[in-house]
């Protein structure tokens, strides 16, 4: 089993409901055991500021799925919730599921980069992650607690419990 962390984000249609539906879908993934999920957080959008705020969370799964099979499953959940992939980076979306960490593995290929790029600069990932894995150590040996010391909240707020 691999311990994996999945970033959840939504800012279109009904973001809270989108996140809850995604969490329910994660609980049904084959060859996987859903362990926990953070509270829902409200964050300012990255990139274009002329879009709604995001609802974010991080979930932990233990899985025997290979990394690309897990990525495919996450993208299928996104599609089922109306995700349309566009060329615009950091634009609004109904659902975004990111494979943040896959055990202690380092993955870098044309479809997947793990740890997720930018993970250490994103308050909307780090703070929910610290809620469910406060003692986490990244593959490079750096502790999540250490990384959090240099990551401001940037207006991040707890929205609600799941």
Domains of the chain from N-terminus onward:
2-160 (3.30.70.560)
Q: How much is the pTM? A: 0.93
Task: Give catalytic status of residue 83 as yes or no.
Answer: yes
Choice among 50, 72, 85, 98 that is catalytic: 98
Query: At residue 88, does pLDDT exceed 90?
Result: no
pLDDT for residue 25: 97
Task: Inform me whether the pLDDT recorded for 70 exceeds 70.
Answer: yes
Q: What angle do CA 138, 83, 40 make, to 5 degrees?
A: 50
Both tokens assigned to 26 = 């994660």
Catalytic residue among 50, 83, 111, 145: 83
Q: Is 50 part of the annotated catalytic residue set? A: no
111 assigned to active site: no
Closest by CA to 19, choosing from 35, 37, 3, 36, is 37
Give the model's pLDDT for residue 51: 86
What percent of the chain shows pLDDT beyond 90? 81
What is the average pLDDT across 134-160?
96
Among the listed residues 53, 85, 96, 122, the single catalytic one is 96
Query: Could you say which of 50, 93, 111, 113 is catalytic?
Result: 93
Is the model's pLDDT at 48 over the cut of 90?
no
């Amino acid at each position: 089993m691999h311990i994996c962390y999945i970033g959840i984000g939504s800012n279109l249609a009904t973001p809270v409901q989108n996140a809850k539906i995604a969490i329910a879908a994660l609980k049904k993934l084959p060859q996987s055991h859903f362990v926990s999920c953070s509270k829902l957080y409200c964050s300012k959008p990255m990139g274009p500021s002329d879009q709604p705020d995001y609802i974010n969370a991080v979930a932990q799964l233990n899985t025997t799925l290979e990394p690309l099979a897990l990525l495919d499953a996450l993208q299928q959940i996104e599609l089922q919730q109306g995700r349309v992939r566009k060329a615009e980076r950091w634009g609004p979306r109904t659902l975004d599921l990111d494979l943040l960490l896959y055990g202690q593995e380092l993955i870098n290929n044309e479809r997947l980069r793990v740890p997720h790029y930018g993970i250490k600069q994103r308050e909307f990932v780090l703070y929910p992650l610290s809620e469910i894995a406060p003692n986490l150590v990244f593959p490079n040996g750096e502790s999540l607690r250490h990384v959090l010391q240099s990551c401001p909240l940037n207006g991040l707020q707890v929205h609600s419990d799941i």
